[in-house]
A and B are shown apart, each in its own frame.
Chain A
Amino acid sequence: MSFTALLQAIVDGVLTGGVYALMAAGLTLIFGVMDIINIAQGVMVILGAYLSYELSVHVGIGLLPGLLITVPLMFGVGVAIEFCFMRRLRDQDRTQMSILVTYAVAIVIEGILTAIFGVDYQQLQASYVNSSVHLLGFYLPDIYLIGFVLAIALLAGLYYMLYRTKFGRAVRSSLQNRTAADLIGIDVNRVRTLSVGIGVAVTAVGGMVFGATNSFNPNTGYDLISRLLAIVILGGMGSIGGAMAAAVFILVINDVVAVAWSPTWAPLVYFVALVIVLSFRPQGLFGRAAVRAQ
């Protein structure tokens, strides 16, 4: 393995890590506000990819402008799921039950996608999917760059929203203490619904980039959610910064292992890293020490 190949792997890891960070940020936002682990996040990314696919192949709207349609659509999906299922869970053992409920939602979405699109693998096509730029001796595929820039922009937007706006303050306060937030006049239910909507809406972008860089079928969601969960747990559940750091960290290692050893074993890195970290820090790298107070 040459030094350039290693550097290239690290750059690739950082670029793809940005997109994973975005998808994981949605997952961790939902957990932070709702105490709900959205197992359906993976299949929702695939749903987002299929929406982009439909728009680009059958309607003729390109991948990037298509986001203007798919992002609000996925936001709606998130709001609907929160309204129909998540808010009906009782407060005790809420997190565990949420895993089952969202798993079931994932199965239903997978079934619907299978019914419509079958199990053949697809990949999104556009002029910028297969081209790349040559920069400082690295070959950077355009789609990686686009995905990275989009992800960074959206994460910055998410950060701004959470820490600089009134709505963000409401989100953070209901994240810290639901009852107190209720008492000072925050409509916690509305905050929760919108947060889930935002957490799911990012999968539209994630799905577009994932679908352009990987081939996918309705079943791919399981592979993806296991990676996203590993990232989120590694970063510490509920910590958006942690999810970002963990995503970049784990994808860099993944790409380096793929180059240095073998691509088939690279995904093992996720889970080995997860198991090792949790053995020493059960709360994750950036998680709070105590288990969340309910």
Chain B
Amino acid sequence: MTGAVTQTGDVAGAPAAAPRKRALTLGVMLIIAAVFIAFPVVVTDPATTSIAFFALVFMVAASAWNIFSGYSGYLALGHAVFFGTGGYAVAVAARDWHVAGGWPVFALCLFGGLVAGLVAIPVGLVALRTRRHTFVVVTIAIFFIFQLAAYNLGFTGGTSGILLPLPPFSAANFNQPFYYVALVILVLTVLVSWLIRRSRFGLQLLAIRDDEDRALGLGVKTRRLKLTAFVISAIPVGLVGGLYFDFVGQIYPQFAFDPLFDLSIALMAFLGGLGTIVGPLLGALVLESLQQYLTQTFSSDATYLIAYGVLFLAVILVLPRGVVPGVTEWLERRRAKAALSAAHERDAAVPTGGVAGAAQ
């Protein structure tokens, strides 16, 4: 909601209401933070807390994806590359360096994020030579190169994949450490997203989204900027990739480089609202929880695929700009309409007096 408030605050620019609004925002944020922190303590059912963990992972991924694709308007459909490389970096390092499960592997997730960031540099250099739909297709192509490499390279363990060391957590509290680590990553990612959105860097990215050639003409260093944003958006995805596969306990190519992952995070961001801060978070929270719930309930791939595809189509066709911008627009329109009809009533009330009131 920070994004929405900042945006409307900037647009409306009502100085008198600002401090009260800010206090309200802060209050809401504190409540939300408290809910997220208390959740696994209050709800201890492992099935539910694992859903919560998956939701956090996808909130990070969607939010990070949004930093690049949402702000710059370049639709990247290959972020599973970073999810997978982060996961494989952690799995391979844990195996080859004999890292113990639990907190040492969590520390390795930083390494996963680093590797993902490093991989993003050459990927971005190649992909960002193109624009628009060609860019989308190139990111898909690069994604398949990585999937193929994971199947065929020696150190990835091929089709059978790699097992990660088992964390020494008790069965009852197994999910909690994962949940809190994911929560910390989420807070940091949202903070970065928010800072970028408010910065000159963020404005330049938005300028690229609106009209890249004009932005270039105005002196925005578009290539360097796009690459920076691309790398920044890859790092959190690599971080949670490592954490995710540590939680699952194993990694194999089909799972690490999953085309549905690319699509899911894009859908989450679209559902919530592309380019907003809250949108991708909201979209990921709703969709991932729903998806996990559906898989736990139906356990049928086919039903799940159909439901997911239909939902996706409905979102794009009904709310092409996402829930957050859609609702914001609707509220603003309603407010404007209310103000307009109030003004009309006032005008009407002057000559006709009580008649207008009686008519109501």
Within 8 Å of chain A (Cβ to Cβ): is B134? yes
Q: Is the interface of A mostly helix, strand, loop or mixed?
A: helix
CB under 8 Å from chain B, chain A span 95-128: 95-97, 99-101, 103-108, 110-112, 114-115, 119
CB under 8 Å from chain A, chain B span 82-131: 126, 129-131
Contact of A278 among B138, B140, B263, B317 (CB under 8 A): B138
Tell me which residues across on chain A come within 8 A of B194, comparing CB atoms: none
Within 8 Å of chain A (Cβ to Cβ): is B152? yes
Decide if B137 touches A282 in the complex (CB within 8 Å). Answer: no
CA distance A167 to B307 in the complex (A): 38
CA distance A265 to B149 in the complex (A): 8
Tell me which residues across on chain B come within 8 A of A268, comparing CB atoms: 145, 148-149
From A103, A222, A230, A268, residue with most partner B Cβ within 10 Å: A103
Within 8 Å of chain B (Cβ to Cβ): is A4? no
Decide if B302 touches A115 in the complex (CB within 8 Å). Answer: yes
Decide if B305 touches A114 in the complex (CB within 8 Å). Answer: yes
Within 8 Å of chain A (Cβ to Cβ): is B313? yes
Decide if B136 touches A96 in the complex (CB within 8 Å). Answer: yes
Tell me which residues across on chain B come within 8 A of A216, comparing CB atoms: none
Decide if B151 touches A264 in the complex (CB within 8 Å). Answer: yes
Within 8 Å of chain A (Cβ to Cβ): is B171? no
Decide if B309 touches A111 in the complex (CB within 8 Å). Answer: yes
CB under 8 Å from chain B, chain A span 254-279: 264-265, 267-268, 270-272, 274-275, 278-279
Within 8 Å of chain B (Cβ to Cβ): is A160? no
Nearest neighbor of A96 in chain B, beta-carbon distance: B75
Within 8 Å of chain B (Cβ to Cβ): is A1? no
Nearest neighbor of B141 in chain A, beta-carbon distance: A271
Decide if B141 touches A226 in the complex (CB within 8 Å). Answer: yes
Tell me which residues across on chain B come within 8 A of A37, comparing CB atoms: 133, 136-137
B-side residues, CB < 8 A to A, are 75, 77, 126, 129-134, 136-138, 140-142, 144-145, 148-149, 151-152, 259-260, 263, 266-267, 270, 300-310, 312-313, 316-317, 320
Since A111-B309, A267-B144 are in contact, a sample of 5 more A-B pairs with Cβ atoms closer than 8 Å, ordered by chain A residue number, is A97-B316, A114-B301, A115-B306, A230-B141, A265-B148
A-B contact pairs, 15 of them (CB 8 A): A100-B75, A101-B313, A103-B263, A107-B305, A110-B305, A111-B301, A114-B305, A115-B303, A223-B144, A226-B141, A229-B140, A267-B148, A279-B126, A279-B129, A291-B132
